[in-house]
Amino acid sequence: MEEMNKKNLSRRGFLKTAALAGAALAMPGGLDNVFAAGTKQQPETSGKDTDAAHITGHRVLGTGEAVFEVSALGFGVMGMTYNRSQHPDKKQCIRLLHEAVDRGVTLFDTAIIYGPLNNEELAGEALSEFKGKINVTTKFGHEVINGKGTGRQDSRPQTIRRYCEESLRRLRLDSLPMFYQHRADPNVSAEEVASTIADLMKEGKVQRWGMCEVSPETIRKAHAVCPLTAIQSEYHLMHRLVEDNGVLDTCRELGIGFVPYSPINRGFLGGCINEYTVFDSNNDNRQTLPRFQPEAMRANMRIVNALQAFGRTRGMTSAQVALGWLLQKAPWIVPIPGTTKLSHLEENLRTLEFALSPEEWKELEVAVATIPVVGDRYNAEQQRQVGR
Ligand SMILES: NC(=O)c1ccc[n+]([C@@H]2O[C@H](COP(=O)([O-])OP(=O)(O)OC[C@H]3O[C@@H](n4cnc5c(N)ncnc54)[C@H](OP(=O)(O)O)[C@@H]3O)[C@@H](O)[C@H]2O)c1
């Protein structure tokens, strides 16, 4: 027995040393290549398992009064109850969220519409005990009546106020670390939304705010009334619209952070789903998306293959390549991958241990650019709600 313990201990010691040595080898230039300006070292949390991946870098979203310091990678809570097919039971999800906190994640993302409501409830139950140490961001905008989404938008001032109170209750907080407008309401101007949020900030109910999937013009109008901390829009190697439509340039110019959602393209770039994957018909929006139809997935698998080929010689998985590519784009970018698995959490956090040169990332971009992306990202109705 004693012999076995010794063996375990020395194996653990070996793994730890190997992990540290591996991390050192993987970072010839330090973390600087990927995590340039704006990155700070984070003090260690409890760190139960010293072999586990642990985030050591912070990033800063927004500037001035809107500044928000968060872990270099966040955690998207959505899939733990909503739109990503089967998920583990609540107890296991809470355990995984606690693992993420232990490993240094300080940014967790949810929304009223996820569930609806039960995703915020889960985040509140799991994370409110870490209030002040970590942040849960949430979103308003999609109309929810009696716990059901109506498909309409409602960002009238009185509705934002009511949603804010309800989110505070479900998240078990006195003040929301960050409140995003999830989709623009065509009947309420950006200025009116911004001024409602400014009032909520004065009252101490909201600390920062952001917007999702809006145009540069809307960002400018809103930011002039109440400074934005971050824009959250879809961005990954299969969807680079924000590079072309001026959103990233506007964020850079105005000192607003950027939070890419669906950074692994809803799991596709992780290589675990393909044309044969059967999505849960009651709880997965991927089956409604043109890019997730079997023919499109079959064609787009070439992109996953390119990420895998790029990662293979560097010891990276395709999910790590996808996340690393986003992280090196700018120090004010913080992706929020979602997962229901400890192994994927571990893998995603280990992305931060790799440092590749700009030339290597260019090589990846060139390889991916030769492959056409098949299928739109959204169906017609979802497409109407973005870019306003
Ligand atoms: N603002 C908006 O309009 C908006 C829209 C969509 C999403 N979001 C936010 O963005 C977050 C993330 O988005 P998302 O869930 O759509 O997409 P995602 O993070 O790109 O992908 C999540 C999917 O990838 C899988 N995955 C995670 N890590 C993996 C890995 N290392 N290898 C292989 N597969 C992996 C997960 O499955 P497993 O559970 O099996 O790991 C999950 O099904 C959401 O939680 C939400 O907070 C915002």
* Local confidence pLDDT in tens for the 388 residues of the chain: 333 333 333 333 333 333 333 333 333 333 333 333 333 344 344 445 568 999 978 999 999 999 999 999 999 999 999 999 999 999 999 999 999 999 999 999 999 999 999 999 999 999 999 999 999 999 999 999 999 999 999 999 999 999 999 999 999 999 999 999 999 999 999 999 999 999 999 999 999 999 999 999 999 999 999 999 999 999 999 999 999 999 999 999 999 999 999 999 999 999 999 999 999 999 999 999 999 999 999 999 999 999 999 999 999 999 999 999 999 999 999 999 999 999 999 999 999 999 999 999 999 999 999 999 999 999 888 988 999 9
Atom of ligand 1 nearest to the CA of 337: 19
Residue having the nearest C-alpha atom to atom 34 of ligand 1:
270
Question: 17: CA distance to ligand 1 center in Å?
Answer: 31
Instruction: Name the residue at shortest CA distance from atom 19 of ligand 1.
Output: 337
- Distance of CA 167 from the midpoint of ligand 1 (Å): 22
| Residues 250 and 84 sit within 8 Å (Cβ to Cβ) | no
Q: What is the pLDDT of residue 364?
A: 98
Angstrom distance (rounded) from CA 388 to CA 131 = 34
* Residue 194 CA, ligand 1 centroid: distance in Å: 28
**For a substitution probing ligand 1, which of 137, 344, 349 has the most ligand atoms within 8 Å of its CB?**
344
Residues 6 or more apart in contact with residue 93 via CB below 8 angstroms: 80, 81, 87, 122, 126, 340
Substitution candidate for ligand 1 out of 110, 137, 241, 261 with most atoms within 8 A of CB? 261
Query: Quick check: bond before 294 cis, omega within 30?
Result: no
Residue located nearest, by CA, to atom 24 of ligand 1: 267
Atom of ligand 1 nearest to the CA of 212: 1
Query: How many angstroms does the Cα of residue 346 sit away from the middle of ligand 1?
Result: 14
For residue 317, the CA-to-ligand 1 centroid distance in Å is 16
Residue 57: what pLDDT?
Answer: 86
Query: What is the pLDDT, as a whole number, of residue 242?
Result: 98
Residue with the smallest CA separation from ligand 1 atom 36 is 339
**What is the distance in A from the centroid of ligand 1 to the CA of 369?**
23
The residue contributing the CA closest to ligand 1 atom 27 is 339
Atom of ligand 1 nearest to the CA of 85: 43
**Residue 55 CA to ligand 1 centre (angstroms):** 19
Map the chain to HEC letters. Answer: CHHHHHHHHHHHHHHHHHHHHHHHHHCCCHHHHCCCCCCEECCCCCCCCCCCCCCCEEEEECCHHHCEEEECCCEECHHHCCCECCCCCHHHHHHHHHHHHHCCCCEEECCCCCCCCHHHHHHHHHHHHHECCEEEEEEECEEEECCEEEEEECCCHHHHHHHHHHHHHHHCCCCECEEEECCCCCCCCHHHHHHHHHHHHHCCCECCEEEECCCHHHHHHHHHHCCCCEEEEECECCECHHHHCCHHHHHHHHCCEEEEECCCCCCHHHCCCCCCCCCCCCCEHHHHCHHHCHHHHHHHHHHHHHHHHHHHCCCCCHHHHHHHHHHCCCCCECCCCECCCHHHHHHHHHHHHCCCCHHHHHHHHHHHHCCCCCCCCCCHHHHHCCCC
* pTM recorded for the entire structure: 0.90
The answer to whether 135 touches 85, Cβ cutoff 8 Å, is no
What is the pLDDT at residue 286?
97
Residue nearest to atom 33 of ligand 1 (CA): 270
- Long-range (24+ apart) CB contacts under 8 A made by 277-284 are 279/85, 280/85, 280/86, 283/82, 283/83, 283/84, 283/85, 283/86, 284/83, 284/84, 284/85
How many A from CA of 334 to the centre of ligand 1?
14
Measuring CA to CA, which residue among 368, 384, 318 is closest to residue 347? 318
114 is catalytic: yes
With a Cβ cut-off of 6 Å, ligand 1 is lined by 76-79, 84, 109, 182, 212, 232, 261-267, 270, 272, 319, 336-341, 344, 347-348
Q: Name the catalytic one among 82, 114, 235, 261.
A: 114
Closest ligand 1 atom, CA of 87?
A: 39
Tell which one of 238, 262, 300 to mutate to probe ligand 1, the residue whose CB is within 8 A of the most ligand atoms: 262
